């Protein structure tokens, strides 16, 4: 079997796995870069369809193309649709020259042989923070450069905390946070809202508490993991969190917080624009770890990668395009537009200096972890689903936290052998 045929087989298997898992909706035909405009044109696919052709983002793409001496053709897709199209294009040998893709998908595309490694294309990843770069690594190789990151923290209602006599500066670990929630309830208000829905969003929101307890995704039933789930179930039993969290998405939990009735909400940087519309004074603090400090929260955001091409001579120009898109000056502008924290420390410092509200988010991103990190790669989804299932079972009262996580570990272990 030729290398190309083997790659097509791996990509086909990856695509089928996504379809079976329900992670890949139907797609329409999409163009690739086999010809790409007669040699002078290069294609870029991104997950930002909200940006029109006259936007600063598209202008940057075209400027980067001009700097590399080529014409750039850009197409923006919905995030989920882009994953499907990227796999199909790889199978057909018609991938774009540059692909900007959600970071958990990197391992799927890399394992399928659809992406080049940074070693192959000489991408410079040295400026990226190691904890963010981890989302794009598999088997000791790196498959792109992060363009920005978002993560989770705790938003709080200053007015409610003041009325409950809570000094937010006193919250530094789980006991102090739980005590604050108790004081808020005693004052007749609601404590905290979050998303525990039975999807990846539920796992995403649970991970800061899971990791903040010192738990590892390879041992879902560890005492540390049980303590994290017991924290959430205790909050529901005590009335500190509403039963609605079981069905909440991150959007609906934000809406609950925005109503003004909750002291805290676990949510992300993507709410920065919405926060400006709140009818009350608000702030943010990092999610505390069990014994203090900042809990590692999962990272969101995209990587700029170079897909495998039939004509390897295209990689040199593609590398120039990626370098342009991820240089510090362009990152500052791009990440501000996307409400992202930059993956480069020097740019993060500039962001925090220009907007004090970003200081907490920079701190949270610096402590964050990749869901597919620790070389979990494509094993992560097979662990995440049992995890969110366990969270649902415990919060609904169907199982104790220990029983729910024991079952989850059994399922995950079988699925990842």
Residue 349's CB is within 10 A of a number of other CB atoms, namely 12
Domains defined along the chain, listed by start: 3-149+300-366 (3.40.190.10), 152-298+376-415 (3.40.190.10)
User: Residue 99: beta bridge partners?
Assistant: 45, 305
Q: Using CB atoms within 10 Å of the CB of residue 85, give its burial: 0 to 12 exposed, 13 to 18 middle, 19+ buried.
A: buried
Answer yes or no: are the C-beta atoms of 131 and 368 closer than 8 Å.
yes
Number of other residues whose CB lies within 10 A of the CB of residue 10: 16
Quick one: which of 196, 179, 272, 279 has its CA closest to 232? 196
pLDDT tens profile 116-129: 999 999 999 999 99
pLDDT along the chain (417 residues), means of 10: 50 44 31 40 96 94 97 94 94 96 94 95 95 94 96 98 98 98 97 97 97 98 98 98 97 97 97 95 98 97 97 97 96 90 96 94 96 92 97 98 98 95
Average pLDDT, the chain: 91
The structure's pTM equals: 0.88
Residues 72-113: pLDDT tens digits? 999 999 988 999 999 999 999 999 999 999 999 999 999 999
């Amino acid at each position: 079997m030729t290398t190309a045929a083997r790659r097509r087989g791996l990509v086909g298997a990856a695509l089928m796995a996504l379809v079976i898992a329900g992670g890949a909706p139907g797609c329409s035909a999409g163009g690739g870069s086999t010809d790409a405009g007669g040699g002078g044109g290069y294609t870029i696919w991104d997950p930002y369809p909200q940006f029109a052709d006259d936007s600063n983002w598209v202008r940057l793409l075209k400027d980067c193309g001009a700097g590399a001496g080529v014409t750039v053709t850009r197409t923006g897709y919905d995030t989920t649709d882009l994953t499907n199209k990227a796999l199909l294009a790889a199978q057909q040998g018609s991938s774009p020259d540059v692909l900007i893709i959600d970071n958990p998908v990197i391992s799927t595309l890399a394992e399928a042989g659809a992406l080049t490694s940074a070693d192959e294309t000489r991408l410079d990843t040295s400026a990226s923070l190691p904890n963010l770069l981890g989302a794009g690594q598999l088997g000791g190789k790196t498959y792109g450069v992060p363009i920005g990151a978002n993560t989770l923290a705790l938003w709080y209602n200053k007015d409610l905390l003041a009325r409950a006599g809570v000094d937010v500066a006193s919250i530094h670990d789980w006991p102090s946070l739980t005590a604050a929630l108790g004081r808020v309830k005693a004052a007749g208000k609601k404590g905290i809202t979050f998303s525990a829905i039975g999807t990846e969003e539920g796992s995403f929101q649970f991970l800061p508490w899971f990791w903040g307890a010192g738990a590892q995704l390879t041992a879902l039933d560890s005492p540390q993991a049980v303590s994290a789930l017991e924290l959430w179930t205790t909050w529901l039993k005590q009335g500190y969190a509403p039963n609605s969290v079981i069905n909440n998405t991150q959007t609906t939990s934000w809406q609950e917080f925005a109503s003004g009735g909750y002291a805290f909400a676990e949510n992300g940087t993507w709410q920065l624009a919405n926060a400006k519309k709140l009818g009350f004074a608000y702030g943010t603090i990092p999610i505390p770890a069990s014994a203090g400090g900042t809990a590692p929260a999962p990272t969101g955001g995209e990587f700029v990668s170079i897909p495998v091409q039939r004509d390897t001579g295209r990689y040199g120009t593609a590398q120039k395009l990626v370098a342009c898109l991820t240089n510090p000056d362009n990152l500052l502008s791009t990440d501000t537009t996307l409400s992202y924290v930059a993956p480069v420390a020097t740019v993060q410092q500039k962001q925090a200096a220009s907007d004090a509200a970003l200081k907490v988010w920079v701190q949270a991103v610096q402590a964050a972890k990749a869901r597919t990190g620790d070389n979990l790669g494509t094993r992560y989804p097979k662990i995440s689903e049992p995890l969110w299932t366990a969270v649902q079972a415990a919060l609904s009262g169907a199982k104790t936290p220990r029983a729910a996580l024991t079952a989850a570990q059994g399922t995950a272990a079988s699925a990842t052998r």
